[in-house]
Amino acid sequence: MTQPLKASAQRVQDALTAGGFDNQVIELEASTRTSAEAAAAVGCEVGQIAKSLIFKGKRTKKPILIIASGANRVDEKVMKGYVGERLSRPDADFVREQTGYAIGGVPPLGHAHPLETYIDQDLWRYDEIWAAAGHPNALFRLTPDELAAMTGGRVVRITRE
Ligand code: 5CA
């Protein structure tokens, strides 16, 4: 029998459904807290994990969502060119306040507040990718184009050449 989703994962499923997307949130036995764990759990490449990272504008203190390929590290100098200010890494409380989810399960949509969003162009190397779904054991499969449609994010290069 299928177990009901945990409340935070169900919120992501509800956000998908409300947006007209038929992607299905799944909960796994294994941890999907990190990109490496998530990739191992679903049997994909680390680069196929879309990790939703929260940054904070140093001047404005506004939250910025950067959805990066699991294989990439965000280059903060490159990102400053798009955002217009330097970025810092916020603490776990800020992440929870702004998104409504704990680190390790932050999804790309369904947040407590709308977030200025950037998407790593390297995700388009893959036909299918996976994103966190509100909980450190929950994921959903999607395409890069669906990710862009769900989030309204700007597709950019987040690393240096
Ligand atoms: N569920 C997985 C795969 S989608 C996941 O959420 N991975 S993740 O990479 O998007 O989220 C973990 C990220 O949270 C780490 O990359 C790291 O940037 C961030 N993080 C971990 N600990 C902290 C912390 N104490 N404060 C701020 N950010 C943190």
In this structure, the chain runs to a length of: 161
Contacts 24+ apart (CB under 8 A), 96-99: 98/54, 98/63, 99/52, 99/54, 99/63, 99/65
Instruction: Check if 132 has its Cβ closer than 6 Å to any atom of ligand 1.
Output: yes
Residue range 84-99, pLDDT digits in tens: 999 999 999 999 999 9
The whole-number pLDDT of residue 41 equals 97
At 3, is the pLDDT very low, low, confident or very high (cuts 50, 70, 90)? confident
The pairing of beta strand 25-27 with beta strand 138-142: antiparallel
* Distance of CA 54 from the midpoint of ligand 1 (Å): 9
CB 32 near ligand 1, within 6 Å: yes
Residue 159 has pLDDT above 60, yes or no: yes
pLDDT at 1: 53
96 CA to centre of ligand 1 in angstroms = 12
Say what the pTM is: 0.96
Task: Show the DSSP H helices in the chain as ranges.
Answer: 7-18, 35-42, 76-83, 92-99, 144-151
Residue 107 Cβ contacting ligand 1 at under 6 Å: no
Domain residue spans of the chain = 7-156
Fold of 7-156: YbaK protein (3.90.960)
